[in-house]
Structure 1
């Protein structure tokens, strides 16, 4: 229990709900509703004693045996049992009403010791150990009941496991299938000297079946292989014999070739399968015609070939590639033995079209990383088969109305600058963009069809946006891109955008904003009308598709280049070398020249079924050179906000130790960008109740500049902003906090409460601000509430 004195020292109304959660989690007594003579199944442990076991598998065996215990004790978090506490707190014998609903829906009834059959569990454990080669094992359990809580300990005693001595295939060489099985022996999962393991023997059957499936044996299955084990050879050894069942059907023991391949390109359930209006194209029977997707485009996703052996590999590759076509929602492939050739299969590929065109309108709440938030509307049109090649055409029109809610605030403007417009930095944006995704590579050079399960894509895009930052400026942005997406494996994705064009034009600047730009040459150059002409290369590695792995990794590396090609062309054309005052231009506007490298690395440690420890390190650096002395404003880094350092508002940190002349200045967020970024996050995620999830986190980071910037009078524009390799760790902003997430699988609503720990903008010696935390949501030392959609990383 929290003392009264502790409660008095805490400030803010948020204490009350936290106390309620704490009290519910603790409960007056977890055994409150446990009947007399019963006990709560409180916990268990499993120990495997194998002093003479040379395989050293005790830890793995303990984990495996623990999974056999049913039922599980009540769910616990950090030693607490919140669901059981809720059940106890709202316990009622009524079968309706709010208390009954909370008790049965959110709460969890006590798991009683009488529900646990220790004898049956021990027998299951003995069977598991037998399957792992411990033919002579003993399993026993003891129970301790104290204060109506029962704890059970299981102890398994094992010796040296039986090991494989010899593996033989009892086969008839007169049949081709036996010869094909024999040829796979060198790849066998069963090796002499290894412990006998039933799961490995089952996996060996699956391996052989997979090999045969890729050699034409369409009707073969793992169940046709059986083992005989001889444990009488002595010295804890086993001889294993593998053979094909005598009752196996003849067609299961012969390879099949592909004969006719029929493609129903516009199939619906219930359609008659008449083959009139068939087009014979490159050996395929294309039905009914090319009014939907043209055959030449569709066949890039078909890898079954006439007169070739049937293989599962080609079947799966075809299925996955056709499923990647936006024009289709279902893909099904069936096989039948040819009516005239007993060793041939006819393939029937049924493709069910998706809804071709769709129009969607949605209202949304925009919450941007730059601190602007507000309502918006988005209207999108999709055509999933725009040019009869399963091309996905997407056209979007959007409008947002936002106010700046995440920065330093809306205080007074700098001295001598007249404030115009809305002091809350109201903004609205209207944009239109179109993209075309083509499920194949479009290139001036002929490229062979890549044999990957993920279809390579060509992406073409164009867009326009108009941004009106009321009281400051208006900005028109034009963009065009041409790129490729290629995923050679499940874990690796390559995005190449060789053409990335962008033109940014600033207009209708207010007097106050113009004065700000005049006083800050660096900021002025960042906002100049300019072209971005370059390429973007992105490599992503992710193992998150393997959901059963304890360790999952994600790493995205982005290389952004601009201006090099056009600068080189102008150099070859004899243009004068660019200077800060006389840069090279296109149509009278400067073009940017820079290199930017960014890396986002994440590690996910899965703890139990739902808990997870996530770490992230984001590093980035951009350097302007040649025709530019600063990065374009849209390319510069900023930190703070819901996906960065959550104890500080968006764009309110750095660069370095720089502090705006007035921290509440509504102009300050323009200044708080840089060339270098370093952000680290650690977050522990855990379940609470139902779809409510919790998190505690620690964030750190900052931004810096490469160069010192000067005002027109020669004084530093942003003192303390330059990166210093010997001192940057002392300039990190640090924040901690906790979060509540509503996770309903397809949608996550996130509430993160950030608490500042270290503020680099404070004078040295005063940067540790955690001891000044006031427990409220106000002031420089208060808590920051981040509301966002989705997890932060």
Structure 2
């Protein structure tokens, strides 16, 4: 039986009054603080009745009109008004003290019916309908008050909307801008037969302005375009005439090209704009010198060229690319008409440097996916302009002391099993990691400068890590990498690491761990001293940056290869054919040869303003061959933990239906596999203020591609091999609830997982939800996950 940790018991005690308090708030009289003669604005609805309306916009109109209701009723969840409940429960007339702070900071006063001006709101609704082409509409409201609660109903009656008949653009023939507008007219947002829509007409002005900005019309603006609408043509039709204001200035109606381009590479607010100390480089005036960032490195992010037509596209692209350089914190571009040629603009690029060097120390509580936790120290040095090319150098030193705080093998050992004790399941870790990010592609091949707003990166990494599992083993890990990252467009990111080197060396193993390796050939092969010499290719597609979208997608595909190039070269050189007992070596140690594929797909469905339904599907497979008969331990898949199946502790599930024996459960051992399948479904919703809630269901497992055997011919991990017909029956399933404290710049997450199905139990006994007793101890008990950030 697993022993309950003291901090878990404390959590159980502290949660109880919180639950009681929430129940108290839910039962409060919501009209407790509503003044006599008034009522609580409890809710409203908006109905659009248009029996003769062929545009089928009723639902969209109701949503739009509902947004005009102000103030809105108190926020509610399934009829419960938590913030109003807090306000009522802690109501006080005092202007200070704890109750006043809770009432004002966490609570919300009742929204009163007297605060709702139904007449003004009806007028606003009528105007909105007018803007949508319903020139003849009526909006009425009715109110029902019961038990000091007011519910308001608005009813809008509309007919067939006015539709566009003719759309004409009238210009002066002598204006140069006429030809430019005629060329972009085929992309117009206004089409004959469409319902009259003021917002579409406004967007059409903005579209024309944007098109002209990309054709050199720097001083043009949307308010220079005027609409004239004739609705007297009959049959609910309207003729639209678009023209330019007669008062438009001449400079707004002609295109400009660029003349001199000045780049202030070390600018601070208040600096003199003298251009005496200037370097002319490839047609640019570089000011003042190259003591900060060299011009040849900076110009990859400048897409403004002398004698080229001014375009807003090049302007924005330059700002975004330069903003992506670590050496600068502010970028601004101004334009002035050239003093000698009034048809040209001089461009002034102002770059304000960021703090070049910084040193940060951070004490932290380390909590890893394998249940090791303890204090840690992280010290990092950062140089944002290392070699005068905006190169970002980051050197990070880490140190931690960890002890196993929970999971498989904690608590008293069963009879006949040696009790290692938590004092023996401890770990010390020291590491250093150096990363150099270069804001350009550094390669023996000549690549053209990508015309994208995202800065391409070349990454060089070196690292060393020392791990000491006390009374078990020590592990040295060396790694080096060279790779590239670039985003050809906003939704797509490529990461290519053609050189990925890693060397893992196991040393100073204890007799107990040696015995464990001898008894478990699979584990022994996983911990072999070996090289990983390969490449990693990653493609990420994401639409999460489009926050206004109801549906968002994230998909990351990873291909990891190792050992193929080395094996091919050795084969050409006549090396012997590798076997399990005699693999090929590199500098005296074997190297891993495998191919690994992993895909992480997520779908975010935004429901309302703050609620969200998130689904995730993770699949992966790793296949070792040639020089390896097992995947390296650091590349194997695992299931369970705060970012996986939260009803099971980290790395405690699988492979398949394998039931870990007690003598391994109380030693250093993780349950890993070659195949991973995991699915998650989580509903996220607001509670009060920065408190958010979640309900989730997780399922998954890992499997082996092939069995391994002891010297006696017994399967090392029976039930662990992948069989397609048994996959669904071997999934671990858990559910639970979560609380998140989301204060924008970081999130503290508490998830309580409840096991539903345990795959390693005998068939017919795997569903364990009926045995749930609400405790954190014992078999099939709840699991508390404490983490930073959202799980996915």
Name the TM tier (shorter chain).
over 0.9
Q: Structure 2: how far apart are the matches of 1:581 and 1:411?
A: 39
* 2:785 is the alignment partner of 1:786: yes
* 2:302 is the alignment partner of 1:302: yes
1:79 shift after superposition: 1.7
Q: Structure 2: how far apart are the matches of 1:660 and 1:599?
A: 28
Aligned ranges 1:6-17 → 2 under 5 Å: 13=13, 16-17=16-17
User: 3-state DSSP class of the match of 2:359?
Assistant: strand
* 2:754 is the alignment partner of 1:773: no
Partner residue of 1:673? 672
1:88 shift after superposition: 1.0
**Deviating 4+ runs (over 6 angstroms):** 412-421
Aligned ranges 1:582-661 → 2 under 5 Å: 582-661=582-661
CA contact (8 A) 1:428 1:467 kept: yes
CA contact (8 A) 1:410 1:423 kept: no
Distance change in 2, residues 1:409/1:423 (3 Å): farther
Partner residue of 1:6? none
Q: Structure 2: how far apart are the matches of 1:411 and 1:90?
A: 43
* 2:560 is the alignment partner of 1:560: yes
Partner residue of 2:737? 738
Q: Structure 1: how far apart are the matches of 2:415 and 2:277?
A: 80
CA contact (8 A) 2:420 2:667 kept: no
User: 3-state DSSP class of the match of 1:487?
Assistant: strand
1:213 shift after superposition: 0.3
Partner residue of 1:570? 570
Q: Structure 1: how far apart are the matches of 2:499 and 2:429?
A: 25
Q: Structure 2: how far apart are the matches of 1:313 and 1:555?
A: 29
Partner residue of 1:109? 109
Aligned ranges 1:79-98 → 2 under 5 Å: 79-98=79-98
Partner residue of 2:6? none
Aligned ranges 1:249-328 → 2 under 5 Å: 249-328=249-328
1:422 shift after superposition: 5.6
Q: Structure 2: how far apart are the matches of 1:621 and 1:244?
A: 63
Unaligned 5+ runs, structure 1? 1-10
Distance change in 2, residues 1:19/1:267 (3 Å): closer
Partner residue of 2:167? 167
User: 3-state DSSP class of the match of 1:399?
Assistant: strand
Deviations 1:455-487 (A, max 9, x none): 111000010110001111000001000000011
Q: Structure 2: how far apart are the matches of 1:14 and 1:378?
A: 32
Partner residue of 2:519? 519
CA contact (8 A) 2:403 2:422 kept: no
Q: Structure 1: how far apart are the matches of 2:168 and 2:521?
A: 81
User: 3-state DSSP class of the match of 1:380?
Assistant: strand
Q: Structure 2: how far apart are the matches of 1:646 and 1:792?
A: 10
Distance change in 2, residues 1:726/1:792 (3 Å): same
CA contact (8 A) 1:759 1:768 kept: yes
Q: Structure 2: how far apart are the matches of 1:12 and 1:276?
A: 72
CA contact (8 A) 2:298 2:389 kept: yes
Deviations 1:297-342 (A, max 9, x none): 0011101000011100000010001001101111111111111111
Partner residue of 1:714? 713
1:664 shift after superposition: 7.7
Partner residue of 1:761? 760
Q: State TM-score, norm by structure 1.
A: 0.97
User: 3-state DSSP class of the match of 2:669?
Assistant: helix
Q: Structure 1: how far apart are the matches of 2:689 and 2:372?
A: 32
Distance change in 2, residues 1:685/1:424 (3 Å): farther
Partner residue of 1:30? 30
1:17 shift after superposition: 2.9
* 2:330 is the alignment partner of 1:330: yes
* 2:227 is the alignment partner of 1:227: yes
Partner residue of 2:199? 199
Aligned ranges 1:337-416 → 2 under 5 Å: 337-410=337-410
Q: State TM-score, norm by structure 2.
A: 0.97
1:666 shift after superposition: 2.3
Partner residue of 1:705? 704
Distance change in 2, residues 1:288/1:46 (3 Å): same
Unaligned 5+ runs, structure 2? 1-10
CA contact (8 A) 2:410 2:422 kept: no
Q: Structure 1: how far apart are the matches of 2:691 and 2:419?
A: 45
Provide the alpha-carbon RMSD of the alignment: 1.6
Q: Structure 1: how far apart are the matches of 2:598 and 2:87?
A: 49
Q: Structure 1: how far apart are the matches of 2:89 and 2:211?
A: 58
Partner residue of 2:4? none
User: 3-state DSSP class of the match of 2:121?
Assistant: helix
Deviations 1:585-644 (A, max 9, x none): 111111111111111111111111111111111111111111111000000011111101
Larger CA deviation: 678-687 vs 453-462: 678-687
